[in-house]
Amino acid sequence: MQKLRKQRQWCFGKLQRIIYTLLRTLHLVEGPRRYKHLFDCINKHKPHLLMEIGVWKGRHALQMIETAKKYWPADKIEYYGFDLFEDINKQKITGEFAKKPPFYHKVKKRLQKTDVKIILHKGDTVQIFPSVINNLPKMDFIFIDGGHSIETVQNDWKYSKELMHDKTVLIFDDYWNREDAGCKKIVDSIDKKEFSVEIMEPADKFKKDWGILSINCVKIMKRIDTV
């Protein structure tokens, strides 16, 4: 009887873990609410050339790739990621309001299990982008979530918009209610005649020593002249 009870408890626990994993995969539990926009946009626009600035552990990369695989076979999907990985130092972490990422080879190994084409660039995008921009394809989907200093965000936007075609969706993370860091200052200066700019709701809010930090994602697309 006791053995049967333990078996039932084990089975119930396993079922709970499976359900929880499924809900995470469907983005219905855990984590900031704003990231749901990433997967909603991929479901809507069905991109197969993906670029992410700020790979970190690769969690969003995996989720974006798996979402794209609903519409494309793995051998048609390409993912391009940029991060400092283990080359980041304490000064850079502080200056970019960043978190320490894992090692490059660990993230690449994790992403390669998706069976899609994985291209990872290690280093500071301020230095890397000028040297690789001419070798990159036009992207269908771009997610900017790298360094948060004004200089870095400005640089990432400068080069990312060169990789946008007429239907590219670009998502900025970290549209903060402050202008000394994050993408707000850059996003607010974008030419609205050339690009559509949608500040996506809801915002995630976090209590800080100085007050409430509000964070939105922002969707950018080129405006197409239909005349």
pLDDT at residue 18 greater than cutoff 90: no
The structure's pTM equals 0.82
Task: Name the residue type at position 213.
Answer: L
SS3 187: helix
Q: What pLDDT score does 112 carry?
A: 96
Question: Was domain 32-222 assigned CATH 3.40.50.1970?
Answer: no
Distances (CA, A) of 26 to 20, 39, 43, 217: 10, 9, 12, 19
Each residue's pLDDT tens digit, 121-150 = 999 999 999 999 999 999 999 999 998 899
- The string of pLDDT tens digits covering residues 174-198 is 999 988 888 999 999 999 999 999 9
Give percent of the chain with pLDDT exceeding 70: 81
Mean per-residue pLDDT, 77-87: 90
What's the N-to-C CA distance of the chain in angstroms?
Answer: 77
Q: Is the dihedral of CA 61, 136, 224, 218 positive or negative?
A: positive
**Residue 137 Cα distances to 37, 84, 140, angstroms:** 24, 21, 9
Question: Residue 184: phi, psi to the nearest 5?
Answer: -55, -45
Q: Which two tokens stand for residue 115?
A: 């069976």
Q: What is the pLDDT of residue 27?
A: 43
* Residue-range domain boundaries for the chain: 1-30, 32-222
Angle between helices 125-132 and 150-160 (to 10 degrees): 20
Own/partner pairs, 12-18, CB within 8 angstroms, 24+ separation: none
The answer to whether 200 touches 216, Cβ cutoff 8 Å, is yes
Position 1 scores a pLDDT of 61
